[in-house]
Copies of this chain bind each other. A is one copy, B any other.
Amino acid sequence: MRQETLAALKDKGFRLTKIRKFIVEIFYSSEAVPISAPELRTRLLAQNVKANKTTVYRELDFLSDQGIIVEINAGDGKKRYELQRHGHHHHILCLRCSAVECVTIENCALEDQLNSVDLKNFKVTGHALNFFGLCEGCRPYTECR
Report A's interface with B, CB cutoff 8 A. Answer: 73, 75-79, 92, 94-95, 101, 103, 105, 109-110, 114, 119-136, 139
Contacts and interface: CB of A to CB of B under 8 A. Distances in A.
A73 to B, nearest CB: 5
A117 to B, nearest CB: 9
Given A77-B79, A103-B119, 9 more contacts: A77-B77, A109-B109, A110-B110, A110-B129, A122-B133, A122-B136, A127-B131, A127-B132, A129-B130
A131 to B, nearest CB: 5
How many copies the complex holds: the figure is 2
12 contacts: A77-B78, A92-B119, A92-B120, A95-B125, A122-B134, A122-B135, A123-B134, A123-B139, A125-B132, A127-B131, A127-B132, A130-B130
